[in-house]
Chains A and B, each alone.
Chain A
Amino acid sequence: MTSSLNPAAAAAPAGASSGVLADYRGRLGDHGPDPLLGSDELIAGGDVRPTQLLLADAIEAMGQGGLLAARAETRRLVHDDGIRYGVGGIDGIRDRHWRLDPLPVVLTSEEWSGLERGIQQRATLLAALLEDLYGDRLLLRRGVIPAEVVLGHPGFLRQVDGIRSRGGLVLGAHDLGRDTDGTWRVLADRTSAPSGAGYAMANRRVTTRVLAGLHRSTELARLRGFFHTMSAAVREAAPPTSEVPRVVLLSPGPMSETAYDQSFLASLLGFPLAESDDLMLRNGRVWLRAAGRLEPVDVVLRRVDPEYCDSLDLRADSQLGLPGLVEATRQGNVTVANPLGAQVLENPGLAPFLPAVAQALLGEDLQLAGKPAWWCGDRDGLAHVLANIDRLVLRPIATGGEVEAQLGGHLSAEGRDRLRRRIESEPWAWIGQEPLPLSTTPVVTPTGLTPGRLVLRTFWAERDGERHVMPGGLARAATGPSQLHVSNSGGAIAKDVWVLAPETAEAGWGDPGVRPDLVAVRPRAVVAPRVADNLFWLGRYAERAEAAGRILRVCDDLVEDHAARPGTPGEQAMRALLAAATAITRVPGDPAQPRQHVRTMVSDPLQSGSLRYAADRLGDAAQRVRDQLSQDIWHVLSRLDRTLAHVPSDEHQLQPRLYDVLESLLAVSGVIAESMVRDETWGFLDGGIRLERAQFTVALLASTIAHERPPIIDGQLTEAVLEVGESILTHRRRTVAGEGPVWPIHSAVSLLLLDKGNPRSVAFSVDRLVEDLRLVGDDVLAAKAEALADHIARVDLVEACTGDRSGLGEILAEVRATLHAVSDDLTRRRFARKTSQRTLPISWAVTS
């Protein structure tokens, strides 16, 4: 950012003007008086703000066409990266895509450094406040904060009172808005389990690709360093006894609204994502369950709401935490970050008292404050709030309950009266606060740039007593009618936040955490049973989808050629292969409508054997182990999803679509094979692929060529099977060269069952399975698979194929049985979940 800082460029944009900004300027004046609406980030007094010239120039240069193209590109990249938010869809797991605007919010380094100091002070203040509230409670005893405000907040957990949590508040976030006078003010503090840091990084990755040119010409603070600092901060919160601390990010699971943020953050920080089932509490310690062993956990980076973290001491009906976790933190055996009681700081009731708390604890003026607020538990406060109810925001101290914050002016006269009575009946539970008129920022829409009300979430982490602020953040902009809350769940769109580097930027600015890493030896990766299970099924479903794609492609080919010629050998071979496909997929269909049947087998999402079903489950399994996989896989899965979303009707060709599907699935295999280290995780995943392929091939052979048929049909069917098995070319080449067996049946059995050199054969798959089982450390099962390989190697090709081929059928049945047994054993031995947990009945019938 140098040349475009020339103010002349802004003062006279007429020549290059595309009119987009002029339109936007016009829209800024569109609204009537609105207490929730303030200044604009880009335009002031009709002119572009001098700090925003760079962005304004880029906008003008792009024009509406360019902006819409950037918007489309942003969407595509969000889809391809699989960035999601919220839950929805038929099974609750296939969720919505993240909504991101291409235009970043740009903040100068001067402005940022002031804001950063304010954030650091507020973070320091909240940390000290937390310590007092769960310690001596001097602030309550001395009346700096009324006791009702704290003791009446559901985030104040008496169960954790007195626990000295190592590290205290390790991280935090604040939602900020810009007031009309230009100062940033606090809307809400996020201190319990702040979400969004992962989204902020995801936004950056997309935005910098979409606006590559602007990004190149701008010196902006990088985000990466912050995650280094955060990772170190969390590790250093470990109990002092742990030399190489192991951290897990405790997630409520893939059903969580911010599951993407959690798993992406886990990978940015280098911690495994864990769910309750992956952990256990034993001997007052937390352990990560790995097959056959337990690995100690020193820090739990918590994304589960505090009351759900311990079914013994907190909510008894929760399955998301660990009974005994509270006690483990009390004993100092594990650190929970942030501490379980930290939600009390998110209390809106603290707002009126924070300036006094800053004086009491820090002896300083509060730099970054909220709008003025009054507590209704105080006689004067109540009088003021009730007298000004139509212009204030009324906030219950306990948020998240049935009552939400409301703007008095948005209520009907009747609604205001109801609220007034409610406040009068429980005045201590309410505060009234002046509304914050939010600034607006341009959002790209099909009808041009639209002002969106801006809320900025900033993040910090505490390390060595210092609060490090992410030089950027997660911005949200709401273009709809003014509402009190600006949130993703309320339909706001996200924006990247660009903090410009100071003119004198030295290298590494914004990377305060990059320094020699304390932890030279990272703890060995542990694969929890849930993760192993999902990796295994990821492999199986990828392979199942591919196998379905291959057999259905050949079916479709035969149907196109022979369906119209009943009674011909070709038609009979077609029927035989269709019957095999039906047996394998178990998707029923009308034999008189083979074309329709093939399409059902491809696309019916509710039939558990269909190609679409396997592809959907592949996506689900990938979501569940997102932190284990390369980012590249989302691009491919997103394409697969799109391809399968609309399968052509009967009249249109299915083949091109099936080729697309197979191409995507090959890309999946490619990403997996080329991006994963050959360790335990790979063993489970590849084991799933090999087992599935062997089972499919055995089932294919058993339901086709293991039966005696008239030679002319048998020949055609065998060729079709070889084609499904991707071995037809080898067969033909060998036949022509006089190398392979003369009979197609021999060739098929040789290539698809016995040939250790053919990646499509059962023998090859079993050999790989043996290696995979060794990788996961299960020598017993590996030996079992090896015995199967030996058994296959001893099969006499000619003998197996003689007569009515019942010999072949028997061999295949044996192989199939052994493969099933291996799969079952693996499931039982390695994927076992924890036994179920229940709360003992408490009865009070046994009293006098």
Chain B
Amino acid sequence: MSQGPEDWTPRQYDVHHRTTYTYEGPVESCFERGFLAPRETPSQRVLSNEVVISPDPQVMTEHVDHFGNHSFYVEIQTAHNELIVEKRSRFEVHWPQPDLAALDRWTVASAAAELLESAEAVERVGHLLPSPLVQPAPEVVDYCRSVIGPDMPLGEAILALTRGIYRDFAYKSGVTTVRTTLPELLELRQGVCQDFAHLAIGCLRSLGLPTRYVSGYLETQPPPGQVKLAGADASHAWASVMVPGGGWVDLDPTNDHLADSRYVVTAWGRDFRDVSPLKGVVFAEAAGASTLNVAVDVTRV
């Protein structure tokens, strides 16, 4: 996916995200947790957000979670065979282009040392320690050192890691799951955006740089000459690394560049576990199968 100056201009997006669970047998009740409203960030403003759930929930509450995300709790106590959770949000997005050259005055190691001195402890440590899906592993350290090192200039290193993962791993869905570990991913050499984000996080943390996992969306273009199909977009994930001076740089190893104004943020945390878009528990008489269907449209307004 190419990137040009036009991708850093301000713009507005409508994002429509519909999740449908279809059950084989009737479900008596269900409990859901999801991030049904996007967070505000320095690069985006949320103009509107609307949530529609079918069947009507008995309880829907919202709170700001540990990471500052808008977390929703949904409880449905009426029997149903199908659950639809629909979210429509309008955003104003404008990402400033990170000044990587300015970051190059630090090396990776000196940036880590600077953060140790100056960054707020909870924010820094919270994103530096191992997390459920990003556990320290010698394989991750080895891979990281093959791409970047502590003495590399910081801006250069961020870009090199983004490129390195893009180069070394093939994008292929269905190979990995939420249970795939980083050493397994390094063995497989293929995966999806969550895997690549986790690997980038593991590498950067191993060098002392606090890094978080960002969950959101990305505007995509249809192949040349084709019309964009409804529902063909998808949710997306990337990594965001803390840099000296109080900022974060968002890198997308799946697409080989830094996040630009085509990126919309839903939530962030230490890894996927903290910001799983929607998860749930159902009570049902029979242990029937369920199918999950997700349709996403990211439309420029």
Q: Which residues of B contact A281 (CB under 8 A)?
A: 31, 75
A844 contacts B126, C-beta separation under 8 Å:
no
Cα distance A316–B279 in the bound complex, in angstroms: 10
Please provide the chain B residues from 161 to 194 with a CB less than 8 Å away from any CB of chain A in the complex. 173-174, 176-178, 192-194
Q: Which of B56-64, B107-115, B240-248 contacts A (4 or more CB under 8 A)?
A: B56-64
A663 interface hit (Cβ, 8 Å): no
A838 touches which of B236, B254, B281 (Cβ 8 Å) = B281
A162 touches which of B32, B59, B66, B276 (Cβ 8 Å) = B66
Total number of A-B contacts with CB less than 8 angstroms?
140
B281 contacts A837, C-beta separation under 8 Å:
yes
- A839 and B125 in contact (CB under 8 A), knowing A283-B75, A847-B194? no
A848 contacts B218, C-beta separation under 8 Å:
yes
- A848 and B236 in contact (CB under 8 A), knowing A141-B122, A143-B121, A151-B122? yes
Q: Which residues of A contact B193 (CB under 8 A)?
A: 847-848
Please provide the chain B residues from 242 to 272 with a CB less than 8 Å away from any CB of chain A in the complex. 254, 272
A572 interface hit (Cβ, 8 Å): no
A844 touches which of B32, B178, B233 (Cβ 8 Å) = B178
Q: Which residues of A contact B28 (CB under 8 A)?
A: 835
Q: Which residues of B contact A158 (CB under 8 A)?
A: 65-67, 274
B192 contacts A845, C-beta separation under 8 Å:
yes
- A847 and B192 in contact (CB under 8 A), knowing A283-B58, A840-B280? yes
A848 contacts B234, C-beta separation under 8 Å:
yes
Cα distance A838–B65 in the bound complex, in angstroms: 24
B31 touches which of A323, A834, A846 (Cβ 8 Å) = A323
> In the complex, how many residues of chain B place their beta carbon closer than 8 angstroms to a beta carbon of chain A?
58
B194 contacts A838, C-beta separation under 8 Å:
no
Cα distance A839–B279 in the bound complex, in angstroms: 8
A324 contacts B285, C-beta separation under 8 Å:
no
A711 interface hit (Cβ, 8 Å): no
B287 contacts A284, C-beta separation under 8 Å:
no
B199 interface hit (Cβ, 8 Å): no
Cα distance A141–B123 in the bound complex, in angstroms: 9
B284 interface hit (Cβ, 8 Å): yes
Cα distance A426–B137 in the bound complex, in angstroms: 12
Task: Write out, one digit per residue, whether chain B residues 33-76 have a CB within 8 A of any chain A CB (1) or not (0).
Answer: 10000000000000000000000001101011111000001010
A147 touches which of B125, B173, B284 (Cβ 8 Å) = B125
B203 interface hit (Cβ, 8 Å): no
Cα distance A271–B116 in the bound complex, in angstroms: 50
Please provide the chain A residues from 792 to 842 with a CB less than 8 Å away from any CB of chain B in the complex. 834-842
Q: Which residues of B contact A162 (CB under 8 A)?
A: 63-66
Please provide the chain A residues from 186 to 204 with a CB less than 8 Å away from any CB of chain B in the complex. none
Nearest to B218 among chain A residues (CB) is: A848
Cα distance A140–B123 in the bound complex, in angstroms: 10
Q: Which residues of A contact B88 (CB under 8 A)?
A: none
- A840 and B282 in contact (CB under 8 A), knowing A137-B122, A158-B66, A284-B59? yes
A835 contacts B284, C-beta separation under 8 Å:
yes
Q: In the complex, how many angstroms separate the beta carbon of B293 from the nearest chain A beta carbon?
A: 8
Q: In the complex, how many angstroms separate the beta carbon of A401 from the nearest chain B beta carbon?
A: 12
B236 contacts A847, C-beta separation under 8 Å:
yes
A284 contacts B174, C-beta separation under 8 Å:
no
B281 contacts A839, C-beta separation under 8 Å:
yes
Please provide the chain A residues from 296 to 321 with a CB less than 8 Å away from any CB of chain B in the complex. 311-313, 316
Nearest to A311 among chain B residues (CB) is: B281
B129 contacts A151, C-beta separation under 8 Å:
yes
- A312 and B194 in contact (CB under 8 A), knowing A161-B65, A836-B287, A839-B280? no
Q: In the complex, how many angstroms separate the beta carbon of B190 from the nearest chain A beta carbon?
A: 13
Cα distance A624–B29 in the bound complex, in angstroms: 28
Task: Write out, one digit per residue, whether chain A residues 125-168 have a CB within 8 A of any chain B CB (1) or not (0).
Answer: 00000000000010011010011100110000011011000000
A840 contacts B75, C-beta separation under 8 Å:
no
B220 interface hit (Cβ, 8 Å): yes
Q: In the complex, how many angstroms separate the beta carbon of A158 from the nearest chain B beta carbon?
A: 4
Q: Which residues of B contact A845 (CB under 8 A)?
A: 173-174, 177, 192
Please provide the chain B residues from 122 to 139 with a CB less than 8 Å away from any CB of chain A in the complex. 122, 124-126, 129-130, 136
B290 interface hit (Cβ, 8 Å): yes
B284 contacts A838, C-beta separation under 8 Å:
yes
B120 interface hit (Cβ, 8 Å): yes
Q: Which residues of A contact B58 (CB under 8 A)?
A: 282-283
Q: Which residues of B contact A316 (CB under 8 A)?
A: 279, 281
Q: Which residues of A contact B66 (CB under 8 A)?
A: 158-159, 161-162
Q: Which residues of A contact B254 (CB under 8 A)?
A: 848
B89 interface hit (Cβ, 8 Å): no
Q: In the complex, how many angstroms separate the beta carbon of B282 from the nearest chain A beta carbon?
A: 6
Scoring A835, A840, A845 by chain B CB atoms within 10 A of each residue's CB, the highest score goes to A840
A843 interface hit (Cβ, 8 Å): yes
Cα distance A423–B177 in the bound complex, in angstroms: 32
B294 interface hit (Cβ, 8 Å): yes
B125 touches which of A151, A282, A284 (Cβ 8 Å) = A151
Cα distance A140–B122 in the bound complex, in angstroms: 7
A840 contacts B290, C-beta separation under 8 Å:
yes
Scoring A143, A148, A846 by chain B CB atoms within 10 A of each residue's CB, the highest score goes to A846
A330 interface hit (Cβ, 8 Å): yes
Task: Write out, one digit per residue, whether chain B residues 63-102 have a CB within 8 A of any chain A CB (1) or not (0).
Answer: 1111100000101010000000000000000000000000
A632 interface hit (Cβ, 8 Å): no
Cα distance A842–B233 in the bound complex, in angstroms: 18
Task: Write out, one digit per residue, whether chain A residues 314-345 have a CB within 8 A of any chain B CB (1) or not (0).
Answer: 00100000011001001100000000000000
Scoring B122, B125, B290 by chain A CB atoms within 10 A of each residue's CB, the highest score goes to B125
Cα distance A407–B173 in the bound complex, in angstroms: 48
Cα distance A137–B122 in the bound complex, in angstroms: 8
B237 contacts A283, C-beta separation under 8 Å:
no
Nearest to B233 among chain A residues (CB) is: A848
A837 contacts B282, C-beta separation under 8 Å:
yes
B292 interface hit (Cβ, 8 Å): yes
A840 contacts B21, C-beta separation under 8 Å:
yes
A312 contacts B125, C-beta separation under 8 Å:
no
Q: Which residues of B contact A834 (CB under 8 A)?
A: 283
Q: In the complex, how many angstroms separate the beta carbon of A289 from the nearest chain B beta carbon?
A: 13
Nearest to A325 among chain B residues (CB) is: B31
Q: In the complex, how many angstroms separate the beta carbon of B273 from the nearest chain A beta carbon?
A: 10
Nearest to A428 among chain B residues (CB) is: B129
A842 contacts B281, C-beta separation under 8 Å:
no
B77 contacts A844, C-beta separation under 8 Å:
no
Scoring B30, B254, B283 by chain A CB atoms within 10 A of each residue's CB, the highest score goes to B283
Q: Which residues of B contact A323 (CB under 8 A)?
A: 31, 281
A140 touches which of B67, B121, B294 (Cβ 8 Å) = B121
Q: Which residues of A contact B237 (CB under 8 A)?
A: 844, 847
Cα distance A649–B213 in the bound complex, in angstroms: 71
Cα distance A98–B61 in the bound complex, in angstroms: 46
Cα distance A247–B145 in the bound complex, in angstroms: 56
A838 contacts B173, C-beta separation under 8 Å:
no
Cα distance A700–B58 in the bound complex, in angstroms: 54
A331 contacts B283, C-beta separation under 8 Å:
no
A141 contacts B63, C-beta separation under 8 Å:
no
Q: Which residues of A contact B283 (CB under 8 A)?
A: 834-837
Q: Which residues of B contact A327 (CB under 8 A)?
A: 61, 73
Cα distance A834–B28 in the bound complex, in angstroms: 10
Cα distance A141–B280 in the bound complex, in angstroms: 34
- A843 and B120 in contact (CB under 8 A), knowing A312-B33, A327-B73? no
A283 contacts B59, C-beta separation under 8 Å:
yes
Interface residues of A (CB under 8 A from B): 137, 140-141, 143, 146-148, 151-152, 158-159, 161-162, 281-284, 311-313, 316, 323-324, 327, 330-331, 426, 428, 834-848
8 shortest A-B CB distances, which residue pairs? A147-B125, A158-B66, A161-B66, A323-B281, A840-B280, A848-B234, A147-B121, A323-B31
A-B contact pairs, 17 of them (CB 8 A): A147-B126, A148-B129, A152-B129, A158-B274, A281-B75, A282-B75, A316-B279, A837-B281, A838-B282, A839-B280, A840-B21, A840-B282, A841-B292, A844-B178, A845-B173, A845-B174, A845-B177
7 extra interface residue pairs, beta carbon distance < 8 Å, beyond A148-B125, A844-B178: A151-B122, A151-B129, A162-B66, A284-B75, A313-B33, A835-B28, A848-B193
